[in-house]
């Protein structure tokens, strides 16, 4: 369980390091599984069997010489990642941070920045990029599979920004920030009055292998190039609460798996959105 002061820190900043959740063996198992999936490749999974929802170099179009492997829903092809989305400490912490007693997985995603040529994940907020679910309250758990450091492109966070509303259009103007040296130089935004943090003060957010970091879906975050000789592998697990509703007008890669009317509760969306907690109790792993 998170302590009261950890929950208060999350509420103040919009992010929190929850400490170590995997030992070396657990980390290595997930690295090995990631390697197996990468070796299988995007074309290697059967069309009609379990496969990741998305599997690509997400920066290929804008920066072909760089790479960020993004694999969405690796849990669908890996027992080890499926167990991770149910990790009791992580699920319990998400429940504390969302104050919800029902939780589903919205989706997961590997973000792997290879050594030497890892690309940028521009400053963004998650919730505005997820327009098929409302309200904008999900919380994510991000588990490092390597020490994520300033050198190899750890995430950066902007304290208090989860209380500044939807600022995705402003953040899109900051896409020129790519290098470690300038990633924190966000310019041109004045936080709304009375919302806690009065200034934009981005900071690097190192997370060691096996640790979990939590962030609110409105927290400003991103990560610069990996120019170091160390890989930066990580898995983000995005959780939604029982109050989440489907917004049929939006677009998102997960929409293909939702067969619901507009406004329906996402807890009815089915097998691609596994429930991990019901009535405050961990939900059993399917299968």
Ligand X SMILES: O=C(O)CCC(=O)C(=O)O
Per CB under 6 A, residues contacting ligand X are 111, 121, 126, 140, 142, 155, 221, 223, 234, 236
At residue 233, the 3 state secondary structure works out as strand
CB of 162 to ligand X, least distance (A): 12
Q: Which is nearer to ligand X, 122 or 267 (CB)?
A: 122
Closest CA to 15 of 162, 178, 151, 127: 162
Q: Which is nearer to ligand X, 95 or 125 (CB)?
A: 125
Q: Which is nearer to ligand X, 239 or 246 (CB)?
A: 239
CB of 142 to ligand X, least distance (A): 5
CB of 63 to ligand X, least distance (A): 15
Alpha-carbon distance of 153 to 226, in angstroms, equals 5
Q: Which is nearer to ligand X, 54 or 264 (CB)?
A: 54
Residue with tokens 């009535």: 279
Alpha-carbon distance of 167 to 224, in angstroms, equals 20
CB of 285 to ligand X, least distance (A): 23
Residue with tokens 């399917």: 286
Cα atoms in the Cβ-side hemisphere of radius 13 Å centred on 102: 10
Residues in a beta bridge with 223: 121
Q: Which is nearer to ligand X, 128 or 265 (CB)?
A: 128
Where residue 263 falls (left for φ over 0; alpha for ψ -120 to 50; beta otherwise) is left
CA dihedral 98, 101, 104, 107 (to 10 degrees): 20
CB of 223 to ligand X, least distance (A): 3
């Amino acid at each position: 369980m998170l302590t009261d002061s950890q929950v208060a820190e999350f509420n103040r900043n919009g992010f929190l390091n929850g400490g170590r959740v995997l030992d070396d063996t657990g980390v290595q198992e997930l690295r090995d599984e990631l390697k197996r999936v990468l070796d299988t490749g995007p074309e290697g999974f059967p069309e009609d069997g379990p496969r990741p929802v998305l599997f690509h170099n997400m920066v290929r179009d804008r920066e072909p010489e760089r790479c960020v492997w993004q694999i969405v829903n690796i849990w669908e092809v890996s027992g080890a990642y499926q167990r991770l989305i149910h990790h009791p400490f992580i699920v319990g912490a998400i429940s504390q941070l969302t104050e919800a007693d029902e939780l589903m997985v919205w989706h997961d995603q590997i973000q792997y920045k290879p050594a030497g040529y890892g690309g940028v994940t521009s400053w963004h907020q998650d919730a505005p990029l997820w327009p098929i679910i409302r309200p904008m309250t999900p919380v994510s758990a991000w588990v490092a599979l390597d020490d994520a450091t300033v050198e190899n492109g750890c995430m950066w966070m902007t304290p208090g920004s989860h209380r500044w509303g939807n600022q995705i259009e402003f953040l899109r103007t900051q896409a020129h920030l790519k290098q470690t040296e300038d990633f924190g130089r966000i310019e041109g935004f004045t936080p709304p009055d009375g919302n806690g943090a009065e200034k934009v003060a981005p900071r690097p957010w190192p997370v060691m292998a096996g640790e979990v970091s939590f962030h609110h879906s409105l927290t400003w975050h991103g990560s610069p190039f990996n120019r170091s000789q160390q890989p930066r592998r990580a898995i983000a697990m995005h959780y939604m609460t029982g109050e989440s509703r489907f917004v049929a007008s939006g677009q998102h890669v997960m929409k293909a798996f939702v067969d619901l009317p507009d406004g329906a509760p996402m807890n009815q969306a089915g097998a691609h959105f596994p429930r991990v907690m019901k009535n405050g109790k961990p939900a059993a792993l399917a299968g």
